[in-house]
Amino acid sequence: MTESFGARLTALVSRRGQLCVGIDPHPGLLEQWGLADTPDGLERFAMTCVEALAGEIAVLKPQSAFFERHGSKGIAVLERVIAESQQAGALVLLDVKRGDVGSTMTAYAAAYLTDGSPLAADAVTLSPYLGFGSLEPALQAAEKSGRGVFVLALTSNPEAPEVQRALNGPRSIAQTVVDAAAERNAGVRPIGGIGLVVGATIGSLGVDLGALNGPLLVPGFGAQGGTLSDIRTIFGNSLRNVLPTSSRGVLKAGPDVFALRSEALRTRDAIVSAAGHH
């Protein structure tokens, strides 16, 4: 029996802290690091991130799109990032935001959540906005292989409320997503493997996360304006399952490996003390 994602995540966070660092080889960041916007530049950027971070930070989150834009060579770099980050002890959350139905969703689940696939990460991001039930093939594959998923619930882009805050009967669409995840996580110890994505800059939560029993990925922390006090305001004292995610805020410290690692550890330690852990 594979150890569950919730158990693996909980154990690693207790040792390495709650920070998740995004590996986002954005063209502007490559330029800032003095690298060309080419597969070679991408590889130098990504492998520097792995060298600096994978031995110390609990969760690394490569953004698939920035690798895909370089074609097959970019995907080859992504495969290396996944494998070498895992070898160094980090969990890899691949940010792909896939959402589809039937055999296509099953194929995505095979690509990202199934042992033996070169792109299999420890967890992926999924979009539930074709209906939460459309995620079923991915949820089953993740559970079977001890992997996790993070389902988009409340994102901070300005267009989001027209879908996420819309009402479905008495509940918002976002609340139906939360409730469906909570139902799947019910009774799982230490926490379930179905997490949610909730933006750090959404302002007010407006949903009840009390029954979720799963991890919360909170992007928008750092360079995008989300602060630790925002996170405390949104999530109250239930911070222990929150993974604040910083990308540019940490990555701007590169390309020096030592400077990059130091910035990540400084950010991590600030989160640890804010969450009231000692």
pLDDT at residue 278, rounded to an integer:
39
Among the listed residues 73, 97, 144, 252, the single catalytic one is 97
Domain assignment present for residue 68? The answer is: yes
pLDDT at residue 276, rounded to an integer:
67
Helix (H, G, I), strand (E, B) or coil at 47: helix
Global pTM reads 0.95
Q: How would you class 26 by CB atoms within 10 Å of its CB: exposed for 0-12, middle for 13-18, buried for 19 or more?
A: middle
pLDDT at residue 33, rounded to an integer:
98
Instruction: For the chain, list residues with pLDDT below 50.
Output: 277-278
Residues 6+ apart with CB under 8 A from 229: none
Domain assignment present for residue 45? The answer is: yes
CATH number of the domain residue 155 falls in? 3.20.20.70
Q: Please give the residue range of the domain that contains residue 176.
A: 5-273
- Total of domains in the chain: 1
Q: Quick check: is 144 catalytic?
A: no
Domain assignment present for residue 230? The answer is: yes
pLDDT at residue 111, rounded to an integer:
98
Domain assignment present for residue 141? The answer is: yes
Written as six digits, the tokens of 41 are: 């530049």
Domain assignment present for residue 278? The answer is: no
pLDDT at residue 163, rounded to an integer:
87
C-beta of residue 261 within 8 angstroms of C-beta of residue 60? no
pLDDT at residue 153, rounded to an integer:
93
